[in-house]
Amino acid sequence: MIPRITLDNSQLLSDDLGKPELSDLCSMTMAIDSILAQIDSEISRLTQARSLLAGSGSSTTTARKTRKTAAKGRKSRVLSPEARKRIADAQRKRWAAQKAKSK
């Protein structure tokens, strides 16, 4: 059986129920700061571990190097002037059709 808890009006209206004291606030702030410091140190430790696993240097430089080497390996595509003109003319035609449609 669950016991019933009853409060009288004097207990509900007391000043010390809902207001934390200044020392409680300070200790809570210090606890939060401590937790944040621990999280920051853990993040830096994990970042170091990740960079070691990914290879030398940070992971962002490794990703950049990978993209650059992939771009270097690919041959650049060159369009002839005639092809560029055909593409430009086709785009102008699409723009004109869109403009005429909106009027």
The tens digit of pLDDT for each residue in 48-76 reads 999 889 886 554 555 566 666 556 677 88
Domain-embedded: residue 94: no
Percent helix, strand and coil across the chain, each to the nearest 5: 70, 0, 30
Domain-embedded: residue 79: no
% of the chain surpassing 70 pLDDT: 64
Domains held by the chain: number: 1
pLDDT at 80 over 90: yes
Domain-embedded: residue 72: no
Q: What is the mean pLDDT of residues 23-39?
A: 84
Read off the tokens for 63.
């990703």
Q: Higher confidence at residue 51 or residue 8?
A: 51
Cα-to-chain-centroid distance, residue 59: 16
pLDDT at 83 over 90: yes
DSSP string, 45-68: HHHHHHHHHH-SS-HHHHHHHHHH
